[in-house]
Structure 1
Amino acid sequence: MFLAVGAIALLCLVSVSHSAPLACQDLLLPLHQPDLRHLEGRWALVAGSLSHLPYLDRFKQRDSAALNFSGNTSDIKMSVSRSIRLDNKCLYDSYNISLEGNSFTYDGTDKSNLTANFVHTSCHDCMLMRMDVESGKRQHLYLFSRRRKVEQEEMKEFRAQVECLNMPPPVVMDASKELCPENQTEEKNEGQKD
């Protein structure tokens, strides 16, 4: 009898431990070293949150956004091109980053002003970027994926990560809105077809 009660109690504890939310320290674990080949290619912005409310308001105006990583000859340097669709226009910029373990810096910028790193996510085809600006006065957390929309559980995890940082609820991109063409030349050619 006691054995049966003990077994039931143990089963209850196991099921509760599996359903309990992860602690914030587990949710915000930095990646040890991102795989450069995994980073290469295009990533659609799925959701993001910013602690600075005026920037968050501007962020909400985006229709879509994407990053495209391409490797250089170095094992630690990559080129990143960013596209943002805003008011049915595409805005492009590009920059170089240097990878240092789980963090990265933008080449040619004041490195003391910005700390950026990749954070672990259970989403298999996602990339989570965290940025602290001005010694943590502003925080940014961005979820990118190879897909335009992630599963409900993956979004739930991202919302919990945002909450752990005491940031406003994330802005989720509308997956039905078009991404910009991968480069400006394609955008010009598309515009000439009209």
Structure 2
Amino acid sequence: MLLHKLVSFLLIFTSLVYSAPLTCEQLTQPAERIDPRNLEGTWALIGGSISYLPYLEIFGQRDSALIHFPSHESVTNISYSRGLRLDGKCMYSTSNITLNGSRFTFDGTPAENSSCVFVRTSCSDCLPMLFDVDSGQRTHFYLFSRRRGLEQDEKNEFMEQVRCLQMPPPVFMDPTKQLCPWPEETLN
């Protein structure tokens, strides 16, 4: 009988430990080393927060956004393209980056004073990206996913990460808004 009670206690205690909320330190840890092959393809912007409120307001005006990582031969020097729809118009840009573990830096100006770290998440097809912009003058935190819409608990995790980073509440994209098509030259 005593053994049965001890086993029951251990099972209950173990389930409580594993269901305990994550700490801010755990929620904002860098992801494990990123394999560039896992980045390949298109990711839709789900939401984001920016430490500088006027930029967050401008961010919230976009209809949709996405990023695309083409396949690369190199495991460190890669590129990615961004596309955003604002007022029905699509705008695109491409950046060359140097990947180092779970971080990357931009190659060349004007983004030479900016870097990014991929943040851990429990969402299997999500890509949280924390940008340090202009040598720490601003912080941008974006959540991308292979899906257009996420479950509420996945959004809640991102909102908790934003809170832990002491940033303004995130703005979420409307998953029904049309994404920009990729121009062929950005996909190669």
The TM-score, its normalising length taken from structure 2, stands at: 0.88
Q: By how many angstroms is 1:3 displaced?
A: 7.3
Distance in structure 2 (CA, Å) of the matches to 1:135 and 1:9: 50
Corresponding residue for 1:39?
39
Q: By how many angstroms is 1:28 displaced?
A: 1.1
Distance in structure 2 (CA, Å) of the matches to 1:94 and 1:133: 17
Q: By how many angstroms is 1:15 displaced?
A: 4.3
What one-letter code is carried by the residue in structure 2 that aligns with 1:78? I
What count of residue pairs does the alignment treat as equivalent? 185
Over the residues paired in the alignment, what is the CA RMSD in angstroms? 2.2
Distance in structure 2 (CA, Å) of the matches to 1:64 and 1:26: 29
Q: By how many angstroms is 1:172 displaced?
A: 0.7
Corresponding residue for 1:60?
60
Q: By how many angstroms is 1:156 displaced?
A: 1.1
Corresponding residue for 1:188?
none
How does 1:130-169 map onto structure 2 within 5 Å? Answer: 130-169=130-169
Whether the aligned pair in 1 keeps the contact of 2:46 and 2:143 (CA below 8 Å) is: yes
- Report which of the two structures shows the higher radius of gyration computed on alpha carbons: 1
How does 1:1-194 map onto structure 2 within 5 Å? Answer: 13-109=13-109, 113-183=113-183
Q: By how many angstroms is 1:77 displaced?
A: 1.5
Structure 2 gap ranges (5+): none
Q: Does the C-alpha gap of structure 1 residues 176 and 112 become closer, same or farther in structure 2, counting only changes over 3 Å?
A: closer
Structure 1 gap ranges (5+): 186-194
Q: By how many angstroms is 1:114 displaced?
A: 1.9
Q: Deviations over 1:23-67 (max 9, x none)?
A: 111111112311111101100000111111011000000100000
The share of aligned pairs that are identical, in percent, is 51
Q: Does the C-alpha gap of structure 1 residues 77 and 71 become closer, same or farther in structure 2, counting only changes over 3 Å?
A: farther
The TM-score, its normalising length taken from structure 1, stands at: 0.85
Distance in structure 2 (CA, Å) of the matches to 1:75 and 1:18: 35
Q: By how many angstroms is 1:71 displaced?
A: 3.1
Q: Deviations over 1:49-96 (max 9, x none)?
A: 111101100000010000001133322121211100000111111111
Distance in structure 2 (CA, Å) of the matches to 1:137 and 1:67: 24
Whether the aligned pair in 2 keeps the contact of 1:71 and 1:79 (CA below 8 Å) is: no
What one-letter code is carried by the residue in structure 1 that aligns with 2:169? P
What one-letter code is carried by the residue in structure 1 that aligns with 2:158? F
Whether the aligned pair in 1 keeps the contact of 2:28 and 2:161 (CA below 8 Å) is: yes
